[in-house]
């Protein structure tokens, strides 16, 4: 608070609000109409909150049992009012709600808009659309805003006023000027926003954006004696599917999510078995910016007999947290507390039913429209995969749904595709995990698999290492990391390999190779657990793999990064017995020992670099490189 007198207090906006307002006031956001949806959505939320509180305290409803939103336009004065008779706000709530931002991820959002080039860049614009800009969007169209509010059941009323520049005022409001209950948001529109005080414009926008809000909306202008109803507040989800058009679903989704994209998939059904409920759920068309925010909760609303109860109930598992929608049931008692609802076995059972329906709908989409499903997978696949290890019961189903990048090409592959194309002697589903798809594609560990035409899944999401380490076999085929244990590739012939090996004149004998490996083991004693000849290399000289039974290298890297594994397991150094460099080194057993030692250490460093790791001893590396190159160039 910066100033106080007897009637009015001036407050400075919280820093993040000031940044958001700056964004709004200067925004060239392509669709300013959305401010109206934000205000109507807030008004409807306020009505739903009152409905809920009135279950416990019916007196709160007083003489107005029906909830209602009325939009009034005064084109002459360019004034627009959105009035609701919902829960209203006390003085403290006004300060709390309209002076700060409670939403998690706001700072991250603001940083992303700024990084995308600010609100005037197309990317910034898109991000703003994704965020659901809330109350502060009024400053896109208004020079000043008054919020007149009286909390249900209270005798006090308050006026909040701001021009959106740095500060706002809060003052007590005389009973005669105050709403009987609820909130009136009064906008003095900017000169270029006068059309928002025209009735025809308002009607069109409200019907398009807010036609399915669960509270009736009426419109009035200064010449009207009585407001005229625009929408009756009936619940879309209670209607039969056949009566609802795709556009109506889209409008409803947009109203519900505050996003402006089209849903990628709509799941609407009425369950009538053990429990009765209706569910309407959407897979969003784009990825919300806070999908990986650890504080992000699910976004499914729970209604009981059309009364909104909470949007905090766990109606879907975490790995479906991107879904938006609602469940309306008659099976829960209305007067139960939110906390008890959360623990209700009925809710658990509804959640199971809903989860199955959502997964089945995704499976159907995958079968009927591969491109559309792949778009869903691009956005949410990395989240759905969390379910592979979190939801053991549905693991097989989720694995079936999953799509992967692989060495078979650039596109997505399903495990069904993979298994169908397996080599007849191949026993496992091979995968390579890492943090970068391009680096995975060029990994030396893949060479022997590629040479034998064996497909390897390329897993580049952090979540992959976790499920891949624990997943049950899929179609009786276990998962196996290509960087773990011996590759067992000897049983599968490599087309054309023998001929190449035979003609290789510079090839060292088995004894020479064995001597080299023993030497390398002594030199690298501290760093590797074993040195052995490799099945998996064809072009590269060396690679590192995890010992049999040890954790996959990528999983270990992630655990170490997260501080959950302190010491690294020593890897196995595999060397390629057909590589010219390896053979030359093996045949040079009588050469300078120091130089051979340098060469072995350089090979180890090379294997690290190929994995995207850093070389610990950079100075030692460059000295060794200089010595070996100097020696080679001098022709010694
Ligand atoms: N008409 C209203 N009646 C009562 N409270 C309101 C009203 N309008 C806004 N509020 C309060 O102000 C808060 C901030 O509103 P704002 O639209 O910025 O965000 P939100 O509604 O919480 O989030 P979102 O827009 O993402 O749904 C609301 O959560 C609510 O508590």
Predicted pLDDT at 254: 87
pLDDT grade, residue 575 (50/70/90)?
A: very high
pLDDT grade, residue 502 (50/70/90)?
A: very low
Predicted pLDDT at 29: 59
pLDDT digits (tens, 9 = 90+) for 420-453: 999 988 999 999 998 889 989 988 889 989 988 9
**572 SS3 class:** strand
Tell me the mean pLDDT in the region 291-302: 76
Predicted pLDDT at 479: 94
Predicted pLDDT at 487: 65
Q: Which CATH architecture has domain 2-233?
A: 2-Layer Sandwich (3.30)
d(CA 208, ligand 1 centre) in Å: 21
- Ligand 1 atom closest to 43 (CA): 1
CA distance linking residue 404 with residue 381, whole number of Å: 9
Tell me the mean pLDDT in the region 299-318: 86
Q: Which residues pair with 231 in a beta bridge?
A: 217
244-368 has the same fold as 2-233: no
Instruction: For ligand 1, pick from 24, 34, 48, 97 the residue to mutate: most ligand atoms within 8 Å of CB.
Output: 97
Does pLDDT of 368 surpass 80? yes
Q: Which carries the bigger pLDDT value, residue 320 or residue 234?
A: 320
Predicted pLDDT at 130: 56
pLDDT grade, residue 290 (50/70/90)?
A: confident
Mean predicted lDDT score pLDDT of the chain: 87
Does pLDDT of 2 surpass 50? no
Residue nearest ligand 1's atom 20 by CA: 134
**What is the domain partition of the chain in residue ranges?**
2-233, 244-368, 402-481, 499-635
**458 SS3 class:** strand
pLDDT grade, residue 4 (50/70/90)?
A: very low
Q: Is 351 annotated as a binding residue?
A: no
Pocket of ligand 1 (CB under 6 A): 38, 42-43, 46, 84, 86-87, 89, 97-98, 103, 132, 134-135, 183, 258
Q: Is 604 annotated as a binding residue?
A: no
Q: How far is CA 54 from CA 61, 277, 592, in A?
A: 7, 23, 90
Tell me the mean pLDDT in the region 44-67: 92
Predicted pLDDT at 322: 93
- CATH code: domain 499-635 is 1.20.120.790
Helix %, strand %, coil % for the chain, to 5? 45, 20, 35
pLDDT grade, residue 242 (50/70/90)?
A: very high
Predicted pLDDT at 632: 83
Q: Which carries the bigger pLDDT value, residue 2 or residue 169?
A: 169
- CATH code: domain 244-368 is 3.30.230.80
d(CA 116, ligand 1 centre) in Å: 27
pLDDT digits (tens, 9 = 90+) for 199-234: 999 998 888 777 778 899 999 987 666 899 998 888
Pick the most confident of 4-18, 41-55, 549-563: 41-55
Q: Is 511 annotated as a binding residue?
A: no
Q: Is 338 annotated as a binding residue?
A: yes
Predicted pLDDT at 131: 60
Q: Which CATH architecture has domain 402-481?
A: 3-Layer(aba) Sandwich (3.40)
Q: How far is CA 624 from CA 333, 551, 605, 614, 630, in A?
A: 76, 31, 11, 16, 10
CA distance linking residue 311 with residue 314, whole number of Å: 9
Does pLDDT of 7 surpass 60? yes
Chain-centroid distance, C-alpha 636: 58
Tell me the mean pLDDT in the region 138-160: 95
Q: At what angle do helices 462-470 and 553-561 cross, to 10 degrees?
A: 120
Out of 134-148, 264-278, 297-311, 491-505, pick the least confident.
491-505
Chain-centroid distance, C-alpha 90: 35
Predicted pLDDT at 215: 92
Nearest one of 341, 107, 367, 79 to 221, comparing CA atoms: 79
């Amino acid at each position: 608070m910066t100033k106080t007198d007897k009637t009015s207090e001036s407050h400075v906006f919280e820093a993040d609000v000031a940044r958001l307002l700056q964004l709004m006031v200067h925004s060239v956001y392509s669709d300013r109409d959305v401010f109206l949806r934000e205000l109507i959505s807030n008004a409807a939320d306020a009505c739903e909150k009152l409905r809920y509180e009135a279950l416990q305290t019916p007196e709160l409803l007083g003489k107005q049992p029906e909830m209602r939103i009325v939009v009034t336009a005064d084109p002459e004065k360019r004034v627009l009012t959105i009035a609701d008779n919902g829960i209203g706000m006390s003085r403290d709530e006004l300060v709390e709600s309209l002076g700060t931002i409670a939403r998690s991820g706001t700072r991250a959002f603001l940083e992303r808009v700024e990084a995308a080039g600010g609100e005037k860049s197309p990317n910034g614009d898109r991000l703003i659309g994704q965020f659901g800009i809330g109350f502060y969007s009024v400053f896109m169209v208004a020079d000043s805003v008054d919020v007149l509010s009286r909390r249900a059941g209270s005798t006090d009323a308050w006026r909040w006023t701001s021009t959106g520049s740095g500060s706002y005022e809060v003052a007590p409001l005389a009973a005669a000027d105050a709403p009987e209950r609820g909130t009136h948001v009064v906008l003095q529109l900017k000169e270029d926003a006068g059309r928002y005080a025209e009735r025809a414009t308002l009607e069109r926008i409200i019907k398009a954006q807010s036609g399915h809000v669960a509270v009736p909306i009426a419109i009035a202008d200064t010449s009207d004696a009585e407001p005229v109803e625009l929408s009756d507040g009936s619940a879309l989800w209670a209607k039969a599917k056949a009566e609802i058009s795709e556009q109506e679903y889209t409008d409803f989704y947009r109203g519900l999510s505050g996003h402006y994209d089209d849903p990628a998939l709509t799941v609407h059904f009425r369950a009538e078995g053990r429990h009765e409920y209706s569910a309407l759920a959407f897979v969003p068309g784009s990825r919300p910016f806070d999908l990986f925010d650890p504080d992000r909760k699910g976004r499914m609303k729970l209604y009981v007999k059309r009364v909104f109860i909470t949007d905090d109930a766990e109606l879907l598992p975490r790995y479906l947290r991107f879904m938006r929608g609602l469940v309306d049931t008659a099976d829960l008692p209305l007067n139960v507390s939110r906390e008890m609802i959360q623990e209700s076995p009925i809710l658990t059972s509804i959640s199971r039913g809903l989860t199955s329906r959502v997964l089945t709908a995704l499976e159907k989409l995958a079968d009927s429209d591969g491109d559309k499903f792949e778009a869903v997978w691009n956005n949410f696949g990395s989240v759905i995969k969390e379910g592979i290890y979190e939801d053991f019961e549905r693991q097989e189903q989720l694995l079936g749904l999953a799509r992967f990048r692989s060495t078979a090409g650039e596109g997505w592959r399903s495990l069904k595709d993979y298994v169908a194309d397996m080599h007849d002697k191949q026993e496992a589903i091979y995968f390579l995990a890492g943090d970068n798809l391009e680096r995975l594609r060029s990994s030396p560990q893949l060479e022997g698999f590629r040479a034998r035409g064996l497909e390897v899944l390329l897993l580049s999401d952090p979540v992959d290492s976790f499920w891949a380490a624990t997943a049950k076999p899929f179609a009786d085929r276990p998962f196996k990391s290509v960087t773990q244990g011996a590759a067992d590739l000897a049983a599968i012939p490599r087309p054309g390999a023998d001929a190449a090996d035979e003609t290789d004149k510079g090839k060292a004998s088995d004894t020479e190779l064995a001597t080299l490996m023993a030497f390398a083991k002594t030199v690298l004693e501290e760093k590797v657990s074993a040195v052995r000849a490799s099945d998996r290399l064809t072009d590269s000289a060396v690679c590192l793999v995890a010992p049999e039974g040890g954790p996959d290298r990528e999983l270990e890297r992630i655990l170490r990064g997260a501080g959950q594994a302190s010491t690294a397991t020593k890897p196995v150094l595999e060397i390629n017995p057909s590589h010219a460099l390896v053979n030359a080194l093996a045949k040079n057993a009588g050469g300078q020992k120091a130089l051979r030692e340098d060469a072995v250490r350089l090979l180890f460093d090379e294997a690290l670099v190929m994995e995207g790791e850093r070389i610990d001893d950079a100075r030692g590396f460059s000295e060794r490189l200089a010595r070996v190159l100097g020696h080679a160039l001098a022709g010694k």
